[in-house]
Structure 1
């Protein structure tokens, strides 16, 4: 399986661009999550053995348990993505489907998208999809995921952000494809 599958071009009736997870970087993300889970287990063990003599052992136990749960979730999510590869980003004549991370917002129709740009966020390359009204996407996400998407939107300025680590296509090329598809599909209708 290739990392990118294309049918047609933006504006054509059969247009569909499916982008799969990056098969090189995803195992590295999984390995990193595994290291943090093991480190959390080690700290948890140390905190339990020092419980009677160290006054802050309970704090370390709670923090290490949170790390185990969070990075364990990342580990499971990455392992499932690697075992059953499904597209993480899909573009078609209807809109963009974002399933690149746990904070992926799902479907966003072209009429809500105002642009896309590639940028560096500290150490990694990110694609930010700008929206005419971000609240429409934020209102569709609820619960724990909604909290994470809102936090992400506050940090990045938009709720739709895709990391280069998660996709098998250069982010700058994907940004150009999104801009072209948004322009072509809205004029085609």
Structure 2
């Protein structure tokens, strides 16, 4: 059983290792984490973020305006893990920074600043209407 389980994981591990595409992209559009599988999360949906670490693995927990549409995009396995993540103090969607060559505090600050900036712009637009 172990040979089957871990043996099946070897091609996936090799694919992740050899895949040259960026795993995490933070730009003017929003946040894209290839491992989440939900696409780009726009800044207008992100209301905040905080850092959590487990066994020296760093995560940025995204606080979303409404996580429901994003959770529906998750695979059934990832959807089942959401409640376990939330029980451990995580949010529904988390950015795993293991293997990403970036400082977790800098990434966190960038996400918080960009989300706040975009919310300010959205509030101004609504005030003008």
Q: Do the structures match in fold with TM over 0.5?
A: yes
Structure-1 separation of matches of 2:75 and 2:12: 19
Alignment partner for residue 96 of structure 1, among 31, 36, 47?
Answer: 31
140-149 or 78-87: bigger deviation: 140-149
Q: Please state whether the residue corresponding to 2:94 is helix, strand or coil.
A: strand
**Is 1:87 matched up with 2:22?**
yes
Kindly report which structure 2 residues correspond to 1:27-106, keeping only aligned pairs within 5 A, or say none. Answer: 40-41=2-3, 65=4, 67-68=5-6, 72-73=8-9, 75-99=10-34, 101=35, 103-106=36-39
Structure 2 residues without counterparts, runs of 5 or longer: 123-129
1:157 aligns to what? Answer: 90
* Post-superposition offset of 1:175: 0.6
Which residue number corresponds to residue 72 of structure 2? 139
Q: State the secondary structure of the residue aligned to 1:78.
A: helix
**Which consecutive residues of structure 1, in runs of 5 or more, have no partner in the other structure?**
1-36, 42-64
CA distance in 2, matches of 1:160, 1:77: 22
| Match for residue 54 of structure 2 among 96, 104, 121 | 121
Asked which structure has the greater CA Rg, the reply is 1
1 CA distance for matches of 2:51 and 2:45? 19
1:142 to partner: Cα distance: 4.2
Q: CA deviation at 1:168?
A: 1.0
Cα distance in 2 for partners of 1:82, 1:151 equals 27
Counterpart of 1:185 in structure 2 is 118
The CA RMSD measured in Å over matched residues stands at: 2.7
128-137 or 151-160, which deviates more:
151-160
* Number of the residue aligned with 1:30: none
Contact 2:47 2:116 survives alignment (8 Å): no
Kindly indicate whether the alpha-carbon contact (under 8 Å) linking 1:138 and 1:150 is maintained by their aligned counterparts in 2: no
